[in-house]
Structure 1
């Protein structure tokens, strides 16, 4: 691997055990969610299968959780396709010192002019200075050609002129489309959430790996090591399975284009929750040098989201 020792070469002493991993502070978690269902219903939450997240999550809740696991700052990411959620997230960001960035939502189908108007409106809202990016849940969009739309490409180009990135939340079969889109819009930085959702429980990673390689070949694409324990079997994941996703990402993107995220509070659905996810991340990256680890822990987020020094 280009980044240093391979997994087989890493000495056993470099593998962090549970106690040391949980105590190792992480400067910034680039992927958390907040919601108030009186503002946005979040109808995707199934109370029967998701009891651990079947409640409201505020900035106060986030602050308590970050302090418990030793994370200093966080970027809050949208979870619903509504403009009203932007107001809620920006308000929470104003109240919670730990929230240093918000990835909101606008309708990118409006093209350059439509996106410009939406962003102008957002810029007048309290807390707008914390807006660092935009996301659209492409993985659940009814339009399977969303990534190929000309109006979306034009809207994404407008994000780039504003210094805003675009978070990509997609499934493995969409990675190739996403690569074509990122190639069309070189002036905008794309951030691949959850490493493109590799199907770790099945082990059928060929489509995912091929698409990941295409995206990683583009200099305007970064990726988040996040959400890997959530997509499939919530209670039955292993560190070795997580490593099967992180190892290729390290090789293809390198530490300077990767960042850490938890997908809290959804990570509460999984065995061990937030702490075990941190342990898995630390174990999978244990062979990196301190400088390389620092890149994933905070350097990439600082650069991509324009938050110099926020995690210091």
Structure 2
């Protein structure tokens, strides 16, 4: 699965991804300016015409909390639901409560939370992240992507034991049928740790002591069901 990287031109990025000729590419999660509200319908239709478009991501991680109350964004999410495309929500942990309030207004839209909302792995959780994550997990249309954690660590933290408690909370909150492993490639691969996607998958499955059924869900089945591939 190719997930948008903030490149200029939404359809251009999809066309570029498809032109790579990767035989393993099953779909593209494209960018769309959902904050444009009903005006985004035309762009969604164009992306829908691209055969590999299976979802939409509009990065929200650097937006102010007030943006989650924008009527335009809400209408854009509703338009996305009508278009039959799921939403990748990429935010930071302090935005979790705002995201939950927003998504509660669009129960018909399937959503996956990217990177566990980038939890405070380096400093520790005072309870806020877990509380807010569980509140989000209470929305049945939301899944979680177990990804993007290596960039959040301090240099002196050992990866596997550092991420284990965060992964355990996420799996307990969502369950394996609403959780999927994501590689965060190439960002995690460019760090000094140079974490290959296969290695991250192994770490997640091993640290969670996942059962055979859970391994199947986490490694491919949940993602296949969510994106329809």
- TM-score, normalization: structure 2? 0.92
Contact 2:112–2:143 (8 Å) recurs in 1: yes
Superposition CA RMSD, Å: 1.8
Task: After TM superposition, list the pairs within 5 Å mapping 1:119-130 onto structure 2.
Answer: 119-124=44-49, 128-130=50-52
| Superposition misfits of 4+ residues, deviation over 4 angstroms | none
Q: 1:225 to 1:255 in 2, by over 3 A?
A: same
Residue 25 (structure 2) pairs with residue 99 (structure 1): yes
Task: After TM superposition, list the pairs within 5 Å mapping 1:244-259 onto structure 2.
Answer: 244-259=165-180
Q: Helix, strand or coil: the match of 1:204?
A: coil
Task: After TM superposition, list the pairs within 5 Å mapping 1:261-272 onto structure 2.
Answer: 261-268=182-189, 269-272=191-194
Aligned length: 226
Q: Helix, strand or coil: the match of 2:108?
A: coil
Larger RCO, structure (CA 8 Å, separation 6 or more): 1
Superposed displacement of residue 123, structure 1: 3.4
Write the deviation string for residues 285-312 of structure 1: whole angstroms up to 9, x where unpaired. Answer: 32x32112111111111111011xxxxx
Superposed displacement of residue 282, structure 1: 2.3
Residue 58 (structure 2) pairs with residue 132 (structure 1): no
Counterpart-to-counterpart distance in 2, 1:163 and 1:212: 25
Q: 1:181 to 1:191 in 2, by over 3 A?
A: same
Residue 35 (structure 2) pairs with residue 109 (structure 1): yes
Q: Helix, strand or coil: the match of 1:138?
A: coil
Contact 1:197–1:228 (8 Å) recurs in 2: yes
Structure 1 residue runs of 5 or longer lacking an equivalent are 1-74, 308-312
Q: 1:279 to 1:302 in 2, by over 3 A?
A: closer
Counterpart-to-counterpart distance in 1, 2:192 and 2:12: 29
Q: 1:216 to 1:237 in 2, by over 3 A?
A: same
Partner of 2:206: 283
Q: 1:96 to 1:276 in 2, by over 3 A?
A: closer
Counterpart-to-counterpart distance in 2, 1:86 and 1:194: 25
Superposed displacement of residue 179, structure 1: 0.6
Contact 2:150–2:188 (8 Å) recurs in 1: yes
Counterpart-to-counterpart distance in 1, 2:11 and 2:201: 28
Higher helix share: 2
Contact 2:179–2:218 (8 Å) recurs in 1: yes
Contact 1:81–1:136 (8 Å) recurs in 2: no
- TM-score, normalization: structure 1? 0.68
Q: Helix, strand or coil: the match of 1:209?
A: helix
Q: Larger radius of gyration, structure 1 or 2?
A: 1
Superposed displacement of residue 284, structure 1: 1.7
Contact 1:199–1:205 (8 Å) recurs in 2: no
Q: Helix, strand or coil: the match of 2:74?
A: helix
Partner of 2:115: 194
Counterpart-to-counterpart distance in 2, 1:158 and 1:183: 15
